[in-house]
Structure 1
Amino acid sequence: MRIPGFDYQRVPVSGEVALSVAVAGSGSPIVLLHGFPQTHLMWRHVAADLAADHTVICPDLRGYGESDKPADTGETYSKRSMAADVVAVAQAFGHDRFALAGHDRGALVALRAGLDHPDRVGHLAILDVLPTLDMWDVLHGTTAAVGFHLYLMAQPPGLPETLISAAPDAFFGHFLDAWTQRGDAMPADVRAAYLEASRNAVTSIVADYRASAGVDVEHDTVDREAGTRLGMPVTVLQQDWGAALGFDAVARWRPWAADLDHRTVTSGHFMAEESPADVVKVLRDLLARRPSDLPLETAERHNAYPQVPQSEG
């Protein structure tokens, strides 16, 4: 399935990896990153609205949808590698600086892009997720049962892939059903498209999650210990599941973002489909905020990492 009115291209990002990308509109750019177990299609309502006055870029993350699914070598599905993909995609369309919004897994990629590439990400929106370290911190006791999939897919290669591949539609369909409050928000054809895409990407999806119990923890620990903070305007939009799980969501986000606007929404997890008007408003409010005058606190550390070359012209 495709978003009506969007052009589709395959964009090389690194080595032999290319992403499938939908793009439409004109004006200042915003990149939208999907979550699990979905594809770029989750943004169909929001993207169509924003394309009226912005260039909207919607990739399938590496390992998902119609994007390439390279074999995992340890760093392949780190959020650092996936964030570099996003920068490369924006640059391929001529944008050295862009706004970035991510949901769920895409939000973790967006967070890493903001930390690693503060000179590229001008505004950052995070939808319904906690930073990786904080996620592991708050899951404990019986409440951790809601995140059983995190522990399953953190296991070494072999067992998770075998179990999930035995009944992929039941596994992925569980989340599409359990995390949705509005049954009409995800039509049958859209749900079927998500299931097909996930069924064909079990190994890479597991690798993405496994990274969040390994290499992503390592990268985030370095930033936490260094006191690294996002310097651009940041909006976090979440369900009020912080209260349900017994933690203060704002307190968890504050150490990561110097210029933070934290909001909650009455919606299920798939808020871009269940409450697209609310998500559009949040994103437009974010884009209207002036870029922070705060120093790029990540700049010195950022320069230690390989950089994506500046585009010519």
Structure 2
Amino acid sequence: MAAPPVALPNVTLSYGPMLIGVFVNMILYGVLLTQILTYYTVYKADALWMRVFVGFLFFVETANTALDMYMMYQPLILEYGQKPVFFPDAFMTEPLIIVLVSMPIQLFFAWRIYQLTKSVWVPILIVLLGLASFAGGVWTTVMIRVLRKFAKKPLLHAPALLWFLTSCVADVLITISLVLTLSKKKTGFSATDSVVDKIIRATIQTGLITAVFSIMDVICFMVFPHYAINFVWDLALSKLYTNCLLSTLNARHKLNSASHASTYQHQRNFVMSPIRSGSNGKQESFIDTAPGPTLTFEQRPRDLEYGVHMTKVVERVEDPISQHHGRGNYAQ
């Protein structure tokens, strides 16, 4: 008589969320490849350190994708049918890689905020939060190696909360700071202000994505301590950080084109508007345009803001006919 089949363990709430997280991670890696290609093709004039930084992120993310694939191959193929007692061996690399990506990006945005505001207080706070998040990620990595078992996952609460919460607060602070700073850069000209609005919308969208994933990671981690549901959000975090940074860098070319187009149209309409009747009875236009309030997005060797370069411009129009008759001049 044949032996009855052995019931396989239920891994739905352990390896299931991890597998979904790896799927999302790999999809975002495909998006990242496109972003990387665009960056190195279009922005060849960027500073060497910036191009090296992007290369470092690409190397780390490629390693992360390979390790995540092996992380799921081990329990689902090599250890098929075994009860999910231990974390996969490659899982301990996950928090370390996430903070190796998130912390430098947060420091980059802190530096960018400093360049825009020339104030050190908010950037220093972001730096401290980023370093605390890095410490929490390293602590979590060590604890995973020590604990190893799914059943001991609640013991990861302290290091994981230090990692998640400080990173989440840093992301929200970066988003709020950039939005408030850029809002103050508006000039009153609809052409340039529309470009500022586009940057603000992009800042909110990219900043809140990482914040939402971090918050959901914390919530699922606390509400379901004995299950792996939080890994749906956790395993995609590093790719989100890198894609958000690359999307910000790659948007400069498009914003630059939009800024020049809108500025050209504004100046064209401005030149055609001041019409006066000359002494010979014909309508004449007199304009003297000097540098004035506008917003430009340029790739300059010393463009410290990497895509957000503010230039003050003053537009002035003088009517020599009205000046001749003692009526002075007018300014737009």
TM (norm. structure 2) is: 0.25
Greater helix proportion: 2
Greater strand proportion: 1
- Structure number with greater Rg is 2
